[in-house]
Amino acid sequence: MHKESRIRDPLIDGNKTFHDITVEVAYPVEGKANKYWWTLFGLSVILMLWGFGCIAYTIGTGIGVWGLNKTINWAWDITNFVWWIGIGHAGTLISAVLLLFRQKWRMAINRSAEAMTIFGVIQAGLFPLIHMGRPWLAYWVFPIPNQYGSLWVNFNSPLLWDVFAISTYLTVSTVFWYIGLIPDFAMIRDRVNEKINPLKKKLYSLLSFGWSGRAKHWQRFEEVSLVLAGLATPLVFSVHSIVSMDFATSVIPGWHTTIFPPYFVLGALFSGFAMVETLLIIVRKVVNMEAYITIKHIEYMNVIILFTGSMVGIAYITELFMAWYSGVEFEQYAFLNRATGPYWWAYASMMTCNVVIPQLYWIYKIRTNIIATFVLSIFVNIGMWFERFVIIVTSLHRDFLPSSWTMFSPTFVDIGIFLGTIGFFFVLFLMYARTFPVVAQAEMKTILKSSGSEFKKIDNEQ
Amino acid sequence: MNNNIVYALYDDDDILLTSVKKMKEKNLNVKEVYTPFPVHGLDKVLELKETRMAITAFIYGCIGLTFGSVLIYYIMISGEYKSWPMNIGGKPNFTFFKNLPSFVPVLFELTVMFAGHLMSLTYFYRCKLFPGSQETSPDPRTTDDKFLVEIEHENFKEVEKFLKTTGAIEIKKKDDK
Amino acid sequence: MFQLNKKLHLTSISMIAIGLLSLVIGFMSDAHSTWTNLLFNNYFFLGISLFAVVFVAIQYVAEAGWSTVFKRVPEAMMAFLPYAGIIMLFIVIAAVMHWNHIYHWLEPGIMDPNEPNYDKIIAGKEPYLNAPFFLIRSIVYVIIWIYCARKLRQLSIKGDLEGDIGERSFFKGLRVSGWFLVFFAVTSCTAAWDWIMSIDTHWFSTLFGWYIFSEWATIGFTTILLIALFLQKTGYLPDLNDSHIHDLGKFIFAFSIVWTYMWFSQFMLIWYANIPEEVTYFMQRIEQSNYSFLFWFSMVINFVVPLIMLMSRDAKRNKTILVIVSTVILIGHWINSYLLFAPGTLFEHGHLGLLEVGVFLGFIGLFIQIVSRTLSKTSVEIKSHPYLDESKHLHT
């Protein structure tokens, strides 16, 4: 029943038993945090508070405290929004698409990747919210009957599509994540001693929804996971496509191009996987998950980064080529200005970080090296931020009317809010890493016999 | 209460699967199996009915699609919106179908939202999973690495002897807990 | 060893005859529309055979084990690539020699400001759209695609002879696949621009290459499934079980949706922005009565039929439903292929008629002949492959 080709590398290192998986997954939850955790957490909290301060300042004073101007009326905020949403995509890809493709290696990383998705989307959601200026009226974006007359939201607007897409994405991902978490919470619940730690027992009992692992429940669990994966796959495509349509439905040169939906999706997966790597390379070290998140996992992720990075590269070249090929002079100028205008450095960083640097992953030694991977993943994160910046700002700053051409520079508030979201993200992620089972242990146990290194050795000898 | 219940504990999923098969062959009444992870093929051996979760998702999705269409039709085409006609990109709101391309994204999202959430709620309801629900597994180790089979028996000695041959590591009656 | 049964053999031969007859009648009555006819039918089968190479290559690089038992099916489909490639090159050479007028931008004088038919926008594209470069590109695509296909096929046969699990040939194939996919990723886009998009010379769409690829993938998977089902029915693939069929069904379902997604992205963005340069492309297809029905009809059946009929798990394991849906999709995409070419070459004169169907039948006949001949060269079953055991025990 556990047939697997011998040329496949093991996905679980060491001589593990089911019980070992339980103990090692529960360890970070049961143990005490080390000083690295506290240092990182402290730093993140400071950043987060600074960001919250900047947000409070923005709301108190008005959007004028940002660097936006009449020509560039969308810049830093939407760049961050798209960047965070993009990062969120890898989580759903790992848990949904790779589930449909029966990729066993997803089991070690899907939990953390999904957590990252949810925390990333929360950061993304902050930006449109504060850009409203009056966030307490945010509910106006929903189609609710109101007493001000027959005013409704406009379903022709891509911004409204975003409201639906992101709220669906955030809630459905959360439910998907939670359904997978229930059996693992139950595992932790059953390990907590009620006499020593009654509060913890109570908490995990509540979180685990009374899960007992009945055969019928597992049967439903598997079907529900599969259906949710089937729903989440088109969902994840739709969300970033709709984000891209915020730009692509317009008539701005550099924004209006048909490749945007799939290209944004690929770019999002690209940046999302980079962020997963950044996080997991730290996590596997800090909470001793090296046996489960192996070099092979990192290599697989690097291959996906190589693939999506190259596809994004093809999309860049396609855009550039089509701008010239179209014969439309505005199109041509927009791209010429992108590459050689005053923001050439942003374009150059984007090209270097997103297209050139990931090509290093063709080299086996680099894609199986942890330090190299960590460094490269940071480059990709930076590159993808610049990609959005390039698309948004360079297309706007020289518009159809040369007298209104101008430049954008962020204020300290812009930068503060962005740093604040990074802090907030890490606060959430670090808290998650201490209270949640970071590896989907129940699923992990199902592949132990086919992909555990000791089991594979025995199989191969036979 | 039926006290003729015996618990057999296993420590391997393959042994569990073959044992349950044997129990079924011996016409033992297997009441329930508790496992730490989904054991592939167990539902077939236990002759569980196929779950209908996917069908519910389909139905909920259809409801979501209908809801979305009605909502958009009411707001954009027929309802009160008429008093505020808007012309977006040369596309006034004449008919639902002429504007359909820009309604598709929201219709899709609503379909997924309904299907995903309502199916999950159905799942929680059917499995009686909610915060505060009590665990029913007789042995806490079944979320760790043990597999427990709950069997109804007539004659404890006989069943015990049989269960031992299948490779059970622990066998006990329900009452002597 | 596979052998085509008498009935099918005769049928396919007569189909080829019908195809040739249609071509002859076509060229004698209306040469211009017959060139379009030949081109779009050839494009359709080029897509199927080229996707077979992509499929084989993806199975290597993705370490996919499930598909190994029916590996010979896409390999046999690859054998059609040289034929489709040569016909494609023939059409391209004919276009360059002005034997046909499919590519508007090849008209003499169109890029010369002193000529009456000078077109400024087309002249601006001269560095890319000029006869020598066009010809060179086409030859390079076809040669390298065929080379990679042959290499993969040879390595696969070698692996079978290698014994044990055929590890050495497998890893060699992995390397070839990687290079092929890199080359394909670029050339599938440029080929789509060159051969298809440049027909509507003024029009441009950045998504076009990926849109064409999604269509190739859909018809490619459909054909793989149909051949696999046929081989299973005739007893040549005893290891092919319901799980393999189910997986292929999933891919057809998924790629039908991907195709719709690409179609929608391209259509909706152009429809929404309503820029004259771009929107003319769809106006030609929607406003003209000879295309508008086909345009909506093909879109709807390519999306709705697989969506509704293949959604449930049982349907993807039901061979009757699969065959019906596959046939519908193939016809739907065939109509859609017609709409990629005809409105730009035939304008209001184009109509999908018996001659088009005749040439289509001719291609099907030739395809059956070539594929069955290739299948009969080696055993249909794989003997040694690293993932063979996994594939045989596929159970989902």
* Mean pLDDT across C23-50: 93
Looking at the 3D structure of chain A, how many domains does it have?
1
Check CB contact under 8 Å for B105 and A234: no
Residue C366 pLDDT more than 50?
Answer: yes
Which range is least confidently modeled, A87-91, A190-194, A457-461, C9-13?
A457-461
Q: Is residue A461 part of a domain?
A: no
Residue C270 with chain A: CB contacts under 8 Å: 258
Cβ–Cβ under 8 Å, residues B1 and B149: no
| Candidate ranges A3-7, A455-459, B152-156, C315-319; pick with highest mean pLDDT | C315-319
> What is the chain A residue with the closest CA to B55?
A227
B positions 38-77 inside 8 Å of A (CB): 38-43, 46, 48, 51, 53-54, 57, 71-72, 75-76
Is the CB of residue B86 less than 8 Å away from at least one CB of chain A? yes
Question: ipTM value of the model?
Answer: 0.92
State which residues form the domain around A64.
18-142+156-453
Helices assigned H by DSSP within chain C: 6-29, 31-61, 72-78, 81-96, 120-124, 131-162, 167-195, 208-233, 242-273, 276-287, 289-309, 313-316, 319-345, 354-375, 388-392
> What is the chain B residue with the closest CA to C274?
B89
Question: Which residue carries 């596979």 as its tokens?
Answer: C2
Residue type, A43: L
Cβ–Cβ under 8 Å, residues C285 and C292: yes
Q: What does the pLDDT read at residue B177?
A: 45
- Cα distance between residue A59 and residue A66, in whole Å: 11
Q: Is the dihedral of CA B22, B25, B30, B36 positive or negative?
A: positive
* Mean pLDDT across A16-22: 84
Q: What does the pLDDT read at residue A388?
A: 93
Q: What does the pLDDT read at residue B1?
A: 44
Check CB contact under 8 Å for C185 and A245: no
* Mean pLDDT across A3-16: 78
A69-108 pLDDT, tens per residue?
888 988 899 999 999 999 988 888 888 888 888 888 888 8
Q: Is residue A9 part of a domain?
A: no
Check CB contact under 8 Å for A210 and B128: yes
Question: Which residue carries 């849906």 as its tokens?
Answer: C325
Per-residue confidence band for A462, with pLDDT thresholds at 50, 70 and 90: low
C positions 270-289 inside 8 Å of B (CB): 271-274
The DSSP letter of residue B51 is P
Q: What does the pLDDT read at residue A440?
A: 87
| Closest Cβ opposite residue A220 in set B11, B127, B140 | B127
Q: What does the pLDDT read at residue C326?
A: 94
Check CB contact under 8 Å for A327 and C206: no
User: At a CB cut-off of 8 Å and minimum separation 6, what does B121 contact?
Assistant: none
Q: What does the pLDDT read at residue A1?
A: 42
CATH of domain B5-50+137-173: 3.30.70
Report which of C53, C359, C369, C15 is spatially closest to residue C224, judged by C-alpha positions.
C53
> What is the chain C residue with the closest CA to A251?
C273
* Mean pLDDT across B142-148: 85
The DSSP letter of residue C347 is G
Residue A56 pLDDT more than 90?
Answer: yes
A309-319 pLDDT, tens per residue?
999 999 999 99
Distance from CA of B79 to the nearest CA of A (A): 9
A200-246 pLDDT, tens per residue?
888 888 898 988 888 888 999 989 998 999 999 999 999 999 999 99
Check CB contact under 8 Å for B131 and A212: no
Is the CB of residue A153 less than 8 Å away from at least one CB of chain B? yes
C115-131 pLDDT, tens per residue?
888 888 899 999 999 99
* Mean pLDDT across C360-382: 92
DSSP string, A210-254: T---BHHHHHHHHHHHHHHHHHHHHHHHHHHHHHHHHHHTS--TT
| Closest Cβ opposite residue B89 in set C272, C311, C313 | C272
Distance from CA of C151 to the nearest CA of A (A): 22
> What is the chain C residue with the closest CA to B100?
C268
Check CB contact under 8 Å for B134 and A443: no
Per-residue confidence band for A3, with pLDDT thresholds at 50, 70 and 90: low
* Residue A409 Cα distances to A68, A413, A414, angstroms: 8, 11, 9
Helix pair angle (A215-248, B100-126), 10° resolution = 160
| Closest Cβ opposite residue B36 in set A152, A167, A445 | A445
Q: What does the pLDDT read at residue A6?
A: 76
C185-244 pLDDT, tens per residue?
999 999 999 999 999 999 999 999 999 999 999 999 999 999 999 999 988 888 898 889
A positions 91-110 inside 8 Å of C (CB): 100, 102
> What is the chain A residue with the closest CA to C257?
A234
DSSP string, A368-434: T-HHHHHHHHHHHHHHHHHHHHIIIIIHHHS-S-GGG-------HHHHHHHHHHHHHHHHHHHHHHH
Residue B175 pLDDT more than 70?
Answer: no
Q: What does the pLDDT read at residue B87?
A: 66
Query: Domain residues of chain C, as ranges?
Result: 6-378+385-392
* Mean pLDDT across C34-45: 93
Q: Is C282 helix (H, G, I), strand (E, B) or coil?
A: helix
Is the CB of residue A227 less than 8 Å away from at least one CB of chain B? yes
Q: What does the pLDDT read at residue C337?
A: 93
> What is the chain A residue with the closest CA to C129?
A325
Query: Domain residues of chain B, as ranges?
Result: 5-50+137-173, 53-126
User: At a CB cut-off of 8 Å and minimum separation 6, what does A264 contact?
Assistant: A82, A86, A240, A241, A243, A244
Is the CB of residue C264 less than 8 Å away from at least one CB of chain B? yes
| Closest Cβ opposite residue C390 in set A4, A251, A311 | A4
Residue type, C245: I
- Cα distance between residue C56 and residue A427, in whole Å: 45
Check CB contact under 8 Å for C311 and B58: yes
Residue A211: both structure tokens together = 């899960």
Residue B102 with chain C: CB contacts under 8 Å: 268, 272
Per-residue confidence band for A37, with pLDDT thresholds at 50, 70 and 90: confident
Q: What is the dihedral of CA A89, A90, A92, A94, to 10 degrees?
A: 160
- Cα distance between residue C3 and residue C14, in whole Å: 18
User: C280-289 long-range CB contacts below 8 Å, 24 or more apart?
Assistant: C280/C202, C280/C203, C281/C200, C281/C203, C281/C205, C284/C200, C284/C343, C284/C344, C284/C347, C285/C339, C285/C343, C288/C343, C288/C347, C288/C348
| Closest Cβ opposite residue A258 in set C63, C125, C206 | C206
Per-residue confidence band for C26, with pLDDT thresholds at 50, 70 and 90: very high
Q: What does the pLDDT read at residue C338?
A: 93
**What does DSSP say about strands B29-34 and B5-10: parallel, antiparallel, or unpaired?**
unpaired
Check CB contact under 8 Å for B101 and C264: yes
Cβ–Cβ under 8 Å, residues C170 and C386: yes
* Mean pLDDT across C278-285: 90
A107-164 pLDDT, tens per residue?
888 888 899 999 999 999 999 999 988 899 888 888 887 766 667 788 888 999 999 9
User: What does the mean pLDDT of chain A come to?
Assistant: 88
Distance from CA of B134 to the nearest CA of C (A): 33
- Cα distance between residue C118 and residue B87, in whole Å: 38
Which range is least confidently modeled, A35-44, A189-198, A243-252?
A189-198
Angle at A378 between CA A75 and CA A288, to 5 degrees: 135
> What is the chain A residue with the closest CA to B150?
A214
Question: Which residue carries 């404890």 as its tokens?
Answer: B156
Residue B165 pLDDT more than 90?
Answer: no
* Mean pLDDT across A35-39: 86
